[in-house]
């Protein structure tokens, strides 16, 4: 564009910077690298680093010219076929060494298994769903089927997996940020509607954990796509300081709609869908905060417990990071806690009371935090003891009835500057058909 541009990165993030430039087609790009870190460093130290870097910034800004390098390209479809000889152990070793798996064993994605997975959707295998951040690898339906086969999915899981991946690919979800942050982020996938029982998505006891084939295999397939096609691998461009097992198997569970209190709406209805529609809701999330409350006998007591567990600081910066009502925080209310709360409050009243109670004083923010000016612009004049809410409005909380018996609930805080995204299951796999109907139609086409 003939605009002099220089990007300054710290040494720890230089690899991420180059990967990001490549993903946008900039094979040659001007970077100035300064020693890591800048965050939490005294102002004088940051100033010295800036002064030392300035001559190089000036030189690049006035004299740098891009080369004529280009990336080699190949067609996204059909996927490359390879021949391997050896044991299943040999295959898994080869796949891991090549960057095609996450370290957990995979099933061989043979042409037969991939063809079987494709019977779960009427979408042609060459259909491109989008480019997966951060590497921007093109994702075809064939590649979804291949990774679903590797994760041990069944064909009828394909519409749910496709809907989850489409939600992730929505720019509002900001998956690039979540996949490359230093934070411990993961994909949260909540399923609603008839599809839960049709394909056996667990929605009650231990639904987000082990022993539930649909949930686990879909979560594994999702992360295989994110890491292999999207290239979100540690230590770069995925810069997670610690990471978590959810980097291997994403959070997947169905809402326990059978345990919904009277008058409460399931998650997808809160999001504007009809109750009889099957919907996947996706959000990049930090690890949840668990509320273990066995003792409250009133909603007010229970809310006080929440207020001492959660604060605006649970996610980066609090309400200053919320630029639109689409960004939401999900309260996974356990059925027993929901029964206690719903005995007195409506769903909207609970959200409002939660918003009023869960706050932190302005004094909790370090004085060097860049969020302070933004907070003051959004919330008006404040004192150090002014209590800051998690969001700008109670409507930004969503509730989901999560799990089975037991007095436990979970709070999911989103990655900053991302929106919750919901997609109908089957919209791209057959205009709202169930997985089984789509599977029958695809087999008919093949015959």
- Residues in Cβ contact with 413 at an 8 Å cutoff, skipping those fewer than 6 apart: 285, 286, 289, 314, 315, 329
Local confidence band at 67 (pLDDT 50, 70, 90 cut-offs): confident
Look up the pTM and report it: 0.88
At 431 the pLDDT is: 35
Q: Quick check: 76 pLDDT over 90? A: no
Q: Give me the mean pLDDT over the 105-127 stretch.
A: 96
SS3 for 131? strand
Contact 416, 345 (CB under 8 A): no
* Residue found under tokens 């919209």: 427
Local confidence band at 436 (pLDDT 50, 70, 90 cut-offs): very low
Q: Quick check: 179 pLDDT over 70? A: yes
Q: Quick check: 325 pLDDT over 90? A: no
Q: Quick check: 3 pLDDT over 90? A: no
User: What would the pLDDT profile of 242-290 be if each residue is shown by its tens digit?
Assistant: 999 999 999 999 999 999 999 999 999 999 999 999 999 999 999 999 9
At 447 the pLDDT is: 24
At 438 the pLDDT is: 38
- 225: preceding bond cis by omega (within 30 degrees): no
User: What would the pLDDT profile of 337-379 be if each residue is shown by its tens digit?
Assistant: 999 999 999 999 999 999 999 999 988 888 777 667 777 777 7
Tokens (6 digits) for 234: 């540690």
Q: How far is CA 58 from CA 4, 18, 44, 64, 369, in A?
A: 10, 20, 21, 10, 28
């Amino acid at each position: 564009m003939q605009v002099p541009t220089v990007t300054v990165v710290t040494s720890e993030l230089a690899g991420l910077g180059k990967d990001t430039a490549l993903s946008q087609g900039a094979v040659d790009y001007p970077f100035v690298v300064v020693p890591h870190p800048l965050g939490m460093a005294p102002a004088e130290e940051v100033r010295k680093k800036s002064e030392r870097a300035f001559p190089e910034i000036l030189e690049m800004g006035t004299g740098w010219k891009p080369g004529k390098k280009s990336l080699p390209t190949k067609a996204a479809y059909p996927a490359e076929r390879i021949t391997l000889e050896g044991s299943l152990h040999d295959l898994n070793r080869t796949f891991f060494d090549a960057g095609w798996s996450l370290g957990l064993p995979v099933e061989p994605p043979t042409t037969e298994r991939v063809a079987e997975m494709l019977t779960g959707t009427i979408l042609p295998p060459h259909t491109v769903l989008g480019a997966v951040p951060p590497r921007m690898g093109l994702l075809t339906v064939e590649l979804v089927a291949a990774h679903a086969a590797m994760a041990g999915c069944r064909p009828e899981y394909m519409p749910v997996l496709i809907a989850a991946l489409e939600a992730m690919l929505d720019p509002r979800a900001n998956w690039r940020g979540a996949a490359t942050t230093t934070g411990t982020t993961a994909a949260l996938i909540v399923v609603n509607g008839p599809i839960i029982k049709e394909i056996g998505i667990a929605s009650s006891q231990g639904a987000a954990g082990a022993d539930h084939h649909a949930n686990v295999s879909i979560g594994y397939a999702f992360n295989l796509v994110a890491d292999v096609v999207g290239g979100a691998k540690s230590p770069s461009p995925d810069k997670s300081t610690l990471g978590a097992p959810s980097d291997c198997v994403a959070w997947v569970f169905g809402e326990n709609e059978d345990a919904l209190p009277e008058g409460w709406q399931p998650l997808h209805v809160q999001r504007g869908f009809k109750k009889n529609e099957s919907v996947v809701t996706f959000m990049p999330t930090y690890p949840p905060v668990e509320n273990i409350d066995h003792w409250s006998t009133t909603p007010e007591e229970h809310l006080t417990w929440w207020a001492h567990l959660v604060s605006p600081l649970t996610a980066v910066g609090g309400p200053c990071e919320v630029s639109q009502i689409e960004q939401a925080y999900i309260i996974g209310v356990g059925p027993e806690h929901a029964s206690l709360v719903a005995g007195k409050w409506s769903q909207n009243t609970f959200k409002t009371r939660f918003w009023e109670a869960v706050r932190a004083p302005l004094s909790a923010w370090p004085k060097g935090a860049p969020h302070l000016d933004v907070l003051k612009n959004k919330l008006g004049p404040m004192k150090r003891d002014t209590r800051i809410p998690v969001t700008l409005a109670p409507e930004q909380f969503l509730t989901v009835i999560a799990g089975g018996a037991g007095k436990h609930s979970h709070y999911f805080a989103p990655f900053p500057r991302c929106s919750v995204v919901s997609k109908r299951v089957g919209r791209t796999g057959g205009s709202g058909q169930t997985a089984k109907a789509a599977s029958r139609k695809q087999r008919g086409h093949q015959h």
